[in-house]
Amino acid sequence: MRTYTNVKDLGGLKAAVKEALEIKKNRFAYKHLGENKTLLMVFFNSSLRTRLSTQKAGMNLGMNTMVLDINQGAWKLETERGVIMDGDKSEHILEAIPVMGSYCDIIGVRAFAQFENKEDDYNEKILNQFIQYSGRPVFSMEAATGHPLQAFADLITIEEYKKKARPKVVLTWAPHPKALPQAVPNSFADFMNEADVDFVITHPKGYELDPKFVRGTKVEYDQNKALEAADFVYAKNWAAYEEPNYGKILSKDRSWTVTTEKMGLTDTAYFMHCLPVRRNMIVSDDVIESPQSLVIPEAANREISAQTVLKRMLESL
Ligand code: AN0
Ligand code: CP
What secondary structure does DSSP assign to 9-49, as a single string?
GG--HHHHHHHHHHHHH-TTTTGGGGTT-EEEEEESS--SH
Omega cis (within 30) before 204: no
- In this structure, which residue's CA is closest to atom 6 in ligand 2? 47
CA angle 199, 202, 208 (to 5 degrees): 105
Q: If we measure between CA atoms, which residue out of 214, 168, 188, 186 comes closest to residue 273? A: 188
Question: What pairs with residue 295 in β-bridges?
Answer: none
- Residue intervals in the chain for CATH 3.40.50.1370: 3-146+302-316, 150-298
- Pocket around ligand 2 at a 6 A CB cut-off: 47-50, 142, 150, 274-276
* Backbone phi, psi, residue 248, to 5°: -100, 155
Q: How far apart are CA 239 and CA 252, in angstroms?
A: 11
Q: Is the pTM of this model over 0.85?
A: yes
Question: What pairs with residue 171 in β-bridges?
Answer: 201, 234
Among the bound ligands, the one closest to the CA of 277 = 1
On whether the CB atoms of residues 197 and 227 are closer than 8 A, the answer is no
Give the ligand 2 atom nearest the CA of 45.
6
Give the CATH H-level superfamily of domain 3-146+302-316: Aspartate/ornithine carbamoyltransferase (3.40.50.1370)
C-alpha 49 – ligand 2 centre gap (Å) = 4
* CATH architecture of the domain with residue range 150-298: 3-Layer(aba) Sandwich (3.40)
C-alpha 278 – ligand 1 centre gap (Å) = 11
What is the best residue among 54, 140, 145, 184 to mutate for testing ligand 1's pocket, by most ligand atoms within 8 Å of CB?
Answer: 184
- In this structure, which residue's CA is closest to atom 5 in ligand 1? 276
DSSP string, 237-292: -----STTSTT------GGGSB-HHHHTTSSSPEEE--S---BTTTB-HHHHHSTT
- In this structure, which residue's CA is closest to atom 3 in ligand 2? 50
C-alpha 144 – ligand 1 centre gap (Å) = 11
| pLDDT digit string (tens) for the chain, length 317 residues | 999 999 999 999 999 999 999 999 999 999 999 999 999 999 999 999 999 999 999 999 999 999 999 999 899 999 999 999 999 999 999 999 999 999 999 999 999 999 999 999 999 999 999 999 999 999 999 999 999 999 999 999 999 999 999 999 999 999 999 999 999 999 999 999 999 999 999 999 999 999 999 999 999 999 999 999 999 999 999 999 999 999 999 999 999 999 999 999 999 999 999 999 999 999 999 999 999 999 999 999 999 999 999 999 999 99
